[in-house]
Amino acid sequence: MTPTATYPSALVRDHSRECRPVARTGRENGALAGLLGLTALLYLWGLGASGYANDFYAAAVQAGTKSWTAFFFGSLDSANAITVDKPPAALWPMELSGRLFGFSSWSMLVPEALMGVAAVWVLYATVRRWFGPTAGLLAGALLAITPVAVLMFRFNNPDALMTLLIVVAAYCVTRALENASTKWLLPAGAALGFSFLAKGLQPFTVVPALAAAYLVAAPAPMRRRLLQLVAAGVAIVVAAGWWVLAVDLTPAADRPYIGGSGNNTALGLAFGYNGLSRIAGGSGVGGFSGSSGVDRLFNSIVGGQISWLLPAALLACGAIGIAAGRAGRTDRTRAALILWGGWLLVTGTVLSFATGIIHAYYTIELAPAIAALVAIGAVVMWRRRAEPAVRVVLGAGILVTGLWSMTLLQRGSDWSPGIAVLVAIAGVLGAVAVLVPAGRALGVAGIAAGLVAAGGGSLAYAVDTAATAHAGSTPAAGPPVASSGFGGRPQAVTRGGMPGQLPSQMPGGMPGGTPPAGFRPPSGSRPSGSMPAGGPGGGGRQATVSSALVRLLSNAGTTWSAATIGARSAAPLELQSGTAVIAVGGFSGSDESPTLAHFQALVKAGKVRYFISSATGGPGGAGGSSSGAISAWVQGRFTARTVGGTTVYDLTKAK
C-alpha cells in the first residue's frame, strides 16, 4: 500500500474523476494505528482458549508440519491416506507457522488473526483512495467488529484466507480503475484464483461485481477493457489451476485420495462437493442456515452473524446510486457502487437461495462489502447533509439500524438486555439529531448516537465472541439465541446435531455424530453454535482421547497407528497421539477410500495396527459402501478389547 491516496476534491457534486493526492496526516496515522492495534487485540486476546478449534483442520495442519507431501496436497494425516475436503491453501500459513514455531493452538491460530488485521487494513486502504480517511477508517472498523469476522479470524476454517484475498482483489481492481492499469488488474485475478485454492468456488461470487465495475468504469476503450478482463481471467485460471493440474496429473497411487471429491480428482472436489452442489445440492429446507429464501440472512441462525448493518448497506446502495446521478461512465462513485453493491447483491443472493450445505459463517464473505457500502454511503450523505432529502435518508439509516440491532439483541433474551435498549435509544436520538438542521453541537451528537446505533450491538456480539472458546465444525458468533423474530423459522434442533436430526441419526464421524470416548469441550467454553431447543445448533465439540488409548497409538510402530470411520473420529486421535490415523471414508465416512481390498493389503503389509470403534457401538458408523465393508470385515475377523472406554480391534490378532 502506498502512503498516499486519492479521492475526488468535490466528491459527488461534480462526479469528477480527476483526483488529487492526499497524504496521510499524523492524526490519521494515529487513528489507523489505533484501529489496527485494537483489531489485533480483539482477534488475539485469549486466542488459545479455543484449543485446536476445528480439529478436522487442526489435524491436517499437524500433518503438514510433519510431511511436505501432506502440506502440498492438504492431507488429513501425515502418512497421506486422504486429504481434507477443501483445497489446501488455507492450511499453508498455519502449517508454515507450525514448522517455524512448533505445532500448537497459538502457532495455528495466530496467522488467522493476523490475516484478519490485514483484511481490515486493506479494506481501509481501498475505501480511502476514493472517499477519504473517514470513510476508510469507518469501513475498516465496521469490518473488524462484524461478529462473523471476529469468529472466523479466530478460527482455523478456510474463510480467513479467502476473505483477505478477495479484499486484496478489490483493492487491486480499485487501483486498476484509476488509469485502466493492466499491472493492477492481473494481481486482482491472481488473488481471486488463489482464493479458489482456499475455499473452492465460493469466493468467485465476487467476480461478477469486480468485472462489471471495471468493464463499465475503466477509462479505456471498450476493446481494451475486454482484453484486459480476458487477461485477468487467465490470471485467475493460472493461479487456481496450477494446483488442480498438479494433483490430477499425479498418479493416484502416488498421492492421497482427494477427500470429498467423489472421484478422487481435484476438479471433482472443486466443482462438485465444494462447488455447484453447495448451490443446488439439497431441498432448501432446514440445514445449517435455515430455509433458503430472501429472509435467510435475517433469520435467527444467520442474522446475528452478519445482518447488523445489512439494512443500512442496502439503503446506502440506493443513496450512492442517486448521488452518482447522471455522471459520466468513469465516475468513481458509481464504480464503487457497482463493485461493492454488486458484491453484496450477488453473494447475498447466492447465500440466501442456495439449497445445498450453507453454514452461517459463510456470510463472512459479505462483511467487507457491507462495511464499505455503509462507510461510503455515510460519508457521501454527510457531505450533502444540507439537503433535506439527504438528511431524511441518513436519519432513516440510523433509525433502522438501531431498531434492527435491538431486534437481534433481543433474540438472546437472557443476554445483556440493557444493550438492546441503548442501541434503540441511540438510533432514535441519532435520527432526530440528523433530521433537525441545527448547529454543530447537535450534529456532533447525531454522529455519536449514529455510531452507537450502527456499531453498539455488533461490537457487543464481537466482544462476546472473542471472549468465548469455540470448537467444532459449525461455530457461531455471539450468545445463544432463540428461534424467533423476523425471518426466524422454527427448527427441530438438538445440541450437537443437524436441525431435525438426533445424534443417532447422524453418519458416523460427522459433526454432531457421537464422538470418541472422552469427548468434551475446552475448559470454560460453550459448544460452538449450540442453541436452546428450537434454535440453531450443530457442531461437534473438541474431543479428548483417554491416556490409555493415546499410549496404545503412540507405541503402535506402524505407518498408520490406526484406522477409524470418518475424519471427525480420526482427527482427535491424530492430534493427541501425534500419529497418523486413516480416516476411512474421509470427512463423513462416505468417500470410497480406502477400498476394502486396499485396506486389506495395508493390514497384510503391517502398515496399520489398530481399528478404533466409534462410540455408536460398532466398529464404525454409517458411511459409504467401503466404510461398511471395512467395518464388517474387521468385526468379523479380528479380536476386540476395550481401551479407555473405546473398542479397539488389534489388526495383528485374528480371531
Question: Looking at residue 274, what is its pLDDT?
Answer: 66
Question: How would DSSP label each residue in 331-359?
Answer: -HHHHHIIIIIHHHHHHHHHHHH--S---
Question: Looking at residue 416, what is its pLDDT?
Answer: 80
Structure pTM?
A: 0.88
Enumerate the H helices of 145-221 as residue ranges. Answer: 147-152, 159-179, 182-199, 207-217
Residue 152 clears pLDDT 50, i.e. is over it:
yes
Question: Looking at residue 222, what is its pLDDT?
Answer: 97
Cis? peptide before 87, omega within 30° of 0? no
Average pLDDT of the residues of the chain? 85
In the predicted model, what is the mean pLDDT of residues 316-338? 93
Give the alpha-carbon dihedral of 348, 352, 357, 359, to 10 degrees: 60
Q: How confident is the model at residue 326 (pLDDT cuts 50, 70, 90)?
A: confident
Rounded Cα gap, residues 65 and 97, in angstroms = 9
Question: Looking at residue 438, what is its pLDDT?
Answer: 66
pLDDT tens, position by position, 529-557? 333 223 333 334 567 789 999 999 999 99
Residue 276 clears pLDDT 70, i.e. is over it:
yes
Residue 559 clears pLDDT 80, i.e. is over it:
yes
Q: How confident is the model at residue 287 (pLDDT cuts 50, 70, 90)?
A: low
Question: Looking at residue 24, what is its pLDDT?
Answer: 86
pLDDT tens, position by position, 2-49? 434 444 433 433 333 445 547 889 999 999 999 999 999 999 999 999
Question: Looking at residue 518, what is its pLDDT?
Answer: 33
In the predicted model, what is the mean pLDDT of residues 615-643? 75
Partners of residue 468 on adjacent β-strands: none
Q: How confident is the model at residue 283 (pLDDT cuts 50, 70, 90)?
A: low
Residue 618 clears pLDDT 50, i.e. is over it:
no
Residue 365 in contact with residue 192, Cβ under 8 Å? no
pLDDT tens, position by position, 223-234? 999 999 999 999
Question: Looking at residue 564, what is its pLDDT?
Answer: 96
In the predicted model, what is the mean pLDDT of residues 60-66? 98
Question: Looking at residue 473, what is its pLDDT?
Answer: 87
Q: Which amino acid type is present at position 427? A: G
Q: How confident is the model at residue 490 (pLDDT cuts 50, 70, 90)?
A: very low
